[in-house]
């Protein structure tokens, strides 16, 4: 049972009255996870919907050769695993606590019943799903049409040869490349895997400038 005040902080339920929150709250349970603990696995059946109460959860996919790709970081108030809960398929990603995490959990069947009785929740679910779809559409655009790795390669070369500032954060590189920070992080990893750069503690060492130039072309 969750207190109405705790539930109201979750966007799905922000428009409900105290009475409705009391009723909905009885279906929720609180769970705690330690750092690095797996919350659910990609491909498993989705039994529950989760909301982040505190901490940060990483959702990710793993390739057949064991490479991991972060999909997003879920922070307090964010929902986890709504795609599988609403389309009835398996979990599309795995989820792992990257800090100590508290989650509010509700069974899928209970959540679907609550939504069918309260259209105001359905509208909020749609709004948040649409926002997520917009973010993912932008990600597809970045991956398909815009060579982000090339733009990051160009920024690295320019910064090494004629630095405008002494150091650059990944957030700043993302702003310069017109992309998300996660894409810069991914591009640096790609360039390191290709042997063009080496990531040291707080340095990027360019090992193969010509490889970067080819990428930037």
Residue ranges binding other proteins (CB under 8 A) = 55-56, 73, 75-76, 98-100, 156, 159-161, 163, 166-172, 181-182, 185, 198, 201-207, 209
Cβ 107 to other proteins shortest distance, Å: 28
Q: Which residues contact 48 (CB under 8 A, 6 or more apart)?
A: 81, 85, 105, 106, 107, 108
Q: Give 188's strand partners.
A: none
Rg (CA), the chain: 21
Give the nearer residue to other proteins in terms of CB position, either 2 or 152: 152
Give the nearer residue to other proteins in terms of CB position, either 84 or 152: 152
The DSSP code for 11 is G
Cβ 83 to other proteins shortest distance, Å: 22
Give the nearer residue to other proteins in terms of CB position, either 119 or 161: 161
Helix (H) or strand (E) holding 181: helix 181-193
Give the nearer residue to other proteins in terms of CB position, either 61 or 75: 75
Beta carbons of 18 and 59 less than 8 angstroms apart: no
Cβ 116 to other proteins shortest distance, Å: 33
């Amino acid at each position: 049972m969750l207190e109405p005040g705790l539930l109201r902080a979750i966007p799905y339920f922000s428009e409900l009255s105290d009475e409705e929150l009391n009723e909905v709250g009885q279906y929720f349970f609180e769970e705690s996870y330690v750092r690095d603990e797996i919350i659910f696995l990609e491909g498993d059946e989705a039994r529950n919907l989760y909301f982040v109460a505190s901490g940060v959860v990483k959702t990710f996919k793993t390739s057949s050769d064991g490479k991991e790709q972060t999909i997003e970081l879920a922070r307090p108030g964010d929902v986890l695993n709504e795609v599988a809960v609403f389309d009835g398929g398996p979990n599309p990603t795995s989820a792992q606590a990257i800090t100590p995490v508290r989650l509010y959990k509700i069974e899928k069947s209970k959540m679907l019943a609550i939504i069918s009785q309260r259209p105001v929740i359905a509208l909020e679910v749609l709004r948040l799903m649409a926002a997520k779809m917009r973010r993912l559409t932008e990600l597809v655009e970045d991956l398909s049409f815009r060579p982000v790795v090339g733009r990051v390669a160009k920024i690295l070369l320019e910064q090494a040869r004629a630095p405008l500032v002494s150091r650059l954060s990944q957030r700043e590189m993302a702003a310069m490349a017109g992309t998300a920070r996660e894409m810069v992080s991914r591009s640096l990893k790609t360039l390191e895997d290709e042997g063009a750069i080496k990531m040291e503690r707080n340095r990027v060492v360019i090992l193969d400038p010509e490889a970067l130039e080819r990428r930037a072309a």
